[in-house]
């Protein structure tokens, strides 16, 4: 979209959003254009423009994750502020998960130590914004290895995002279990 066309659409949106005003108020603003400019620039200072563009698509990966009742967080890798964009993430399979093979979760966790795994905050944000989950994740249990939980029975586990019917939900697997090609890890592509 050209700058001129975008500006025209912006002006139209501003005009349509103005409240009803009397002729005297309109004339007052016409005569006090500097005051009007100051008023309008205060509504959306330049520093806030980037925040407005990103609103609703920023995931706070530094905050404490959701903890299911009776569980505890064993470890939680903080990941800063992630701007959600499918181009910023990818799913990862270990060589030990390909070709019909499976790898035990504890071994996979060690293999993922140096990789930019996403934590459970991303999983829970995606559950709240299911329309933004990538199509290629359908049919897979996508795991968020940045948060490891201790289940109520004491065993370590990791949560995953998966689709059932037309909705997405979460599940978990104990780290002593096996992870195959249907169980990729969600990684940040921007680190």
Summarize the confidence of residues 173-188 as an average pLDDT.
Answer: 97
Residue 137 CA to residue 47 CA, distance in Å, equals 35
Predicted pLDDT at 16? 67
Predicted pLDDT at 34? 65
Q: What is the pLDDT of residues 62-113, one digit of tens each?
A: 999 999 999 999 999 999 999 898 888 999 999 999 999 999 999 999 999 9
Claim to verify: residue 180 and residue 128 sit in the same structural domain: yes
Summarize the confidence of residues 43-63 as an average pLDDT.
Answer: 61
Claim to verify: residue 22 and residue 77 sit in the same structural domain: no
Predicted pLDDT at 42? 52
Claim to verify: residue 21 and residue 81 sit in the same structural domain: no
C-beta separation of 185 from 91 below 8 A: yes
Could you identify the residue written with the tokens 């037309």?
166
Could you identify the residue written with the tokens 């059932």?
164
Segment (H or E) for 15: helix 3-17
What is the domain extent for residue 35?
A: 3-43
Structure tokens belonging to residue 107: 């071994």
Q: What is the pLDDT of residues 23-40, one digit of tens each?
A: 766 776 677 776 666 556
C-beta separation of 144 from 118 below 8 A: yes
Claim to verify: residue 168 and residue 90 sit in the same structural domain: yes
Report the chain's mean pLDDT, rounded to a whole number.
Answer: 85
Q: DSSP 3-state assignment of 41?
A: helix
Predicted pLDDT at 155? 96
Residue 189 CA to residue 156 CA, distance in Å, equals 26
Radius of gyration over every alpha carbon of the chain, rounded to an integer in angstroms? 24
Claim to verify: residue 87 and residue 143 sit in the same structural domain: yes
Closest CA to 188 of 104, 89, 110: 89
Q: pLDDT category, 186, cuts 50, 70, 90? A: very high
pTM comes to 0.71
C-beta separation of 113 from 187 below 8 A: no
Claim to verify: residue 153 and residue 67 sit in the same structural domain: yes
Segment (H or E) for 72: strand 72-76
Claim to verify: residue 36 and residue 89 sit in the same structural domain: no
Q: Is there a domain that residue 170 lies in?
A: yes
C-beta separation of 15 from 21 below 8 A: no
Summarize the confidence of residues 155-162 as an average pLDDT.
Answer: 97
């Amino acid at each position: 979209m050209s700058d001129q066309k975008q500006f025209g659409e912006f002006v139209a949106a501003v005009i349509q959003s103005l409240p009803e005003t009397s002729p005297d108020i309109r004339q007052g603003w016409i005569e006090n254009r500097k005051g009007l400019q100051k008023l309008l620039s205060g509504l959306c200072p330049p520093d806030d423009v980037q925040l407005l563009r990103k609103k609703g698509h920023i995931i706070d990966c530094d905050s404490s994750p959701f903890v299911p009742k009776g569980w505890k967080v064993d470890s939680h890798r903080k990941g800063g502020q992630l701007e959600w964009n499918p181009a910023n993430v990818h799913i990862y399979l270990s060589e030990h998960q390909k070709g019909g093979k499976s790898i035990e979760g504890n071994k996979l966790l060690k293999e993922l130590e140096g990789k930019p795994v996403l934590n459970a905050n991303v999983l829970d944000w995606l559950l709240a914004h299911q329309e933004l989950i990538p199509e290629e994740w359908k049919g897979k249990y996508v795991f968020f290895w940045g948060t490891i939980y201790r289940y109520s029975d004491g065993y370590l586990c990791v949560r995953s995002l998966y689709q059932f019917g037309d909705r997405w939900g979460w599940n978990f697997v104990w780290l002593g279990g096996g992870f195959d090609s249907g169980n990729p890890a969600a990684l940040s592509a921007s680190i």
